[in-house]
Amino acid sequence: MTKASDVRPYWKNFINGEWVDGSEGARIPVTDPATGLKLCEVARGTAADIDRAVAAARACFNSDEWQNMLPHERGALMFRLADELEKAADEVALVECFDNGKTLANGRGEIPLTQRYLRYYGGMADKLEGRQIPLGSGLLDYTILAPYGVSAQIVPWNGPLPVGARSIACALVTGNTVVLKSPEDSPLSLYLLAEACTRAGVPKGAVNIVCGYGAEAGAALAAHKDIDHVVFTGSVETGRSVLRAAAERIIPCVMELGGKSGGIVFPDADIDQTVESAANGIFKHAGQICSAGSRLIVHRSVYDQVVEKLIARAESLNVAPGIEGGDLGPLISERQLERVEALCRVGVEEGATLRTGGSRTKGLDGYFMAPTVFTDVRPDMIIAQDEFFGPVVVVIPFEETEEAIEIANGTDYGLAAGLYTRDLSLAHKVANRLVAGQVYVNQWWAGGVETPFGGMKRSGFGREKGQEALLGYVQTKNVGIKL
């Protein structure tokens, strides 16, 4: 498969191990963002489909097969799933290119990354232990890390496979079952995970994947009366409505929301390395990454130098359909492109200086946005506060370290932050003060599958990745026995 027309024309939902049409027979068209043309159709999941999927997940959760599966067997299942996913590697890379707008290189990276998650959590399945609490010789007391039951997971379009798979892995190794609502804009790679689940022998109903519109299938899942747990990754606005639904039923949530993450450049930083890292941090996947480094806070003494190099880097990037091997591909939709362009116009009206980019790329049919750099940005401007979710970086000057920390912390978000310096003491000091779930020193996204990831403030709560993530999928149960 090397072209969009090779993508399978129709994909069904995966419920109770079966491939099924939407309950009303309706379909959702999926668009190739690099051309604006229809790519394929997927079954449109409705509230009735969510009902069936939750019932299947519940039945599996209650089954002897699931309840009696030993922790090391659940771990082995994740290893088999990772192995089976290998067979879908080429197709995953291509569908990520065509429905998501990823570059082919990034699409190819999705499988090794997803396998890392599956094997990492598979390896931990038999290492989750409770504790014994000493209450004297007449009592035996111990704790169990118990699953919640049916875990409802709602996934955004920008990284559906690794984001979905890491939540599924955490849920399964801790003994939960899953209903996942895949993103309507880029659902395809998760169907390939579902196919791998069948090949790997994941019990029927343990993983159900339903695509549907957010307001329809997503809202029905979040409000379903028989789910026990919610993992939501997406925007703050949608996160609020999911939390309201969860509050009605008092069920726990993991919330992975947006970001407006800032990197501070100190005068002693290696400028070339800093610019390379900062450019990667904002232009990768056209800035459609929740932890993108969308603000650069630069010491006045190196400001001009950093800005000139950053602009040169932005202008050197090849914006092209992912399949053609460009550096960055399109935004996900016309709506997202319009939103990013509109925010750029706001920046100009606010008095920031647009140094490069600022609008869609001419001469391409899809939803391509030019890599954009704004300078003379004040921390209180809308473009320094609102998430673009596009390839737009705002550069803000500072004089004093305290001022830089204040600027970095001065948004509603707290997902990631970074700093560039050769001074290790300064790095420690500033890292301690930054209000963010992850802090990167001298390399944006320093970290990996093993490092806990998640938000502070409006960026959410709970953690994905790392050992900490598993704690979001279990509840402590205490057993006291009078001997």
CA dihedral 88, 94, 99, 101 (to 10 degrees): 130
Whose Cβ is closer to ligand NAD: residue 200's or residue 290's? 290
Minimum Å gap between C-beta 384 and ligand NAD is: 16
Stretch near ligand NAD under the rule CB under 6 A, chosen from 84-92, 112-120, 210-218, 267-275: 210-218
Q: List, in sequence order, every residue forming a beta bridge with 371; answer none if it has no partner.
A: none
Task: Indicate whether 253 belongs to the interface with ligand NAD (CB under 6 A).
Answer: no
Whose Cβ is closer to ligand NAD: residue 124's or residue 257's? 257
Minimum Å gap between C-beta 275 and ligand NAD is: 24
Whose Cβ is closer to ligand NAD: residue 219's or residue 408's? 219
Whose Cβ is closer to ligand NAD: residue 1's or residue 215's? 215
What is the Cα gyration radius of the chain?
23
Binders of ligand NAD among 129-158, rule CB under 6 A?
154-158
Task: Indicate whether 247 belongs to the interface with ligand NAD (CB under 6 A).
Answer: no
Which position among 184, 327, 341, 386 is part of the footprint of ligand NAD (CB under 6 A)? 184
Binders of ligand NAD among 258-287, rule CB under 6 A?
258-259
Q: Which two tokens stand for residue 282?
A: 């904002």
Task: Indicate whether 222 belongs to the interface with ligand NAD (CB under 6 A).
Answer: yes
Which position among 181, 229, 285, 355 is part of the footprint of ligand NAD (CB under 6 A)? 181
Active site residues: 256, 290
Minimum Å gap between C-beta 33 and ligand NAD is: 13
Minimum Å gap between C-beta 326 and ligand NAD is: 22
By residue count, the chain amounts to: 483
Binders of ligand NAD among 380-399, rule CB under 6 A?
387, 389
Which position among 42, 290, 471, 474 is part of the footprint of ligand NAD (CB under 6 A)? 290
CA 207 – CA 177 distance, rounded (Å): 6
Whose Cβ is closer to ligand NAD: residue 75's or residue 214's? 214
Task: Indicate whether 31 belongs to the interface with ligand NAD (CB under 6 A).
Answer: no
Q: Please report, as ranges, the residues that interact with ligand NAD according to CB under 6 A.
A: 154-159, 181, 183-184, 214-215, 218-219, 222, 233-235, 238, 241-242, 256-259, 290, 387, 389, 415, 455
